[in-house]
């Protein structure tokens, strides 16, 4: 998907590659050998989000990693330039990209407790705001998300929001475009993505990548 000179590619599960002036990856998992990363964002420490096998495919001595604080100590066997650890509400800038760490947690499950300070991200690239929700349920902090152009939302249930909750998130966030994620690798299939598109298209454009 292309928007405002940004190329957004879904890599499967919660993984995305974003190409603009630099190459950015978010939570790469079970990816093929790919272009080296200028910047990698990691939402939290679970193996399907922080995958060293996948990070080794795309990182080198020039790569900057941004990760939630719960990931400290996890990158020792990796080649990189620098790691910056963040918690919800932190804001940093790398090259021309503004990065906001936002809350991501479960409200009725034990997998991602709020006190773990796991995160989602809002990236502002070429005046385009991309929200990667991370592993989250429908949470009150979504009411604070403003002017989102593209929302990358989990839909699988069990560990994160299910389809209906993701639709409610769309109604709250009001993105221009919603993209379903967190399916096709561990739990849920394209069937859930199609169901999400059918329901959420009443509120915004939906792209299945």
Structure tokens at 204: 């915004």
What is the rounded average pLDDT of the residues 31-49? 92
Claim: this prediction has a pTM higher than 0.85: yes
What is the rounded average pLDDT of the residues 108-129? 94
Structure tokens at 150: 């593209």
Residue 164 pLDDT greater than 90, yes or no: yes
Tokens 């996890």 appear where?
Answer: 74
Residue 125 has a pLDDT of: 96
Average pLDDT, the chain: 94
pLDDT tens, position by position, 81-110: 999 999 999 999 999 999 999 999 999 898
Residue 66 pLDDT greater than 80, yes or no: yes
What is the rounded average pLDDT of the residues 127-140? 97
Q: Which fold has domain 2-206?
A: Metallo-beta-lactamase; Chain A (3.60.15)
Report the distance separating Cα 97 and Cα 93, nearest Å.
6
Cα–Cα nearest to 13, from 27, 33, 34: 27
Residue 34 has a pLDDT of: 81
Cα–Cα nearest to 25, from 167, 205, 152: 152
pLDDT band at residue 33 under the 50/70/90 scheme: confident
150-154: strand order across its sheet: 91-94, 97-103, 119-125, 128-132, 150-154, 177-181, 205-206
Residue 172 has a pLDDT of: 98
């Amino acid at each position: 998907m292309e928007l405002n000179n940004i190329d957004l590619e879904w890599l499967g599960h919660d993984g995305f590659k974003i190409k603009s002036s630099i190459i950015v990856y978010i939570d790469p998992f079970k990816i093929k050998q790919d272009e080296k990363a200028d910047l990698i964002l990691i939402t939290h420490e679970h193996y399907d989000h922080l995958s060293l096998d996948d990070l080794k495919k795309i990182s080198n001595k020039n790569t900057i990693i941004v990760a939630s604080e719960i990931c400290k100590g996890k990158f020792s066997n990796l080649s990189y330039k620098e790691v910056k650890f963040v918690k919800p509400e932190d804001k940093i800038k790398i090259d021309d990209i503004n990065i906001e760490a936002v809350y991501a947690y479960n409200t009725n499950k034990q997998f991602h407790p709020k006190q773990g300070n796991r995160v989602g991200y809002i990236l502002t690239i070429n005046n385009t705001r991309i929200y990667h929700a991370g592993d989250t349920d429908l949470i009150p902090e979504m009411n604070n998300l403003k002017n989102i152009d593209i929302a990358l939302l989990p839909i699988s249930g069990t560990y994160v929001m299910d389809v209906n909750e993701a639709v409610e998130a769309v109604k709250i966030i009001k993105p221009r475009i919603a993209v379903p994620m967190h399916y096709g690798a561990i739990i849920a299939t394209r069937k859930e993505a199609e169901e999400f598109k059918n329901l959420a298209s009443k509120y915004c454009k939906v792209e299945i990548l």
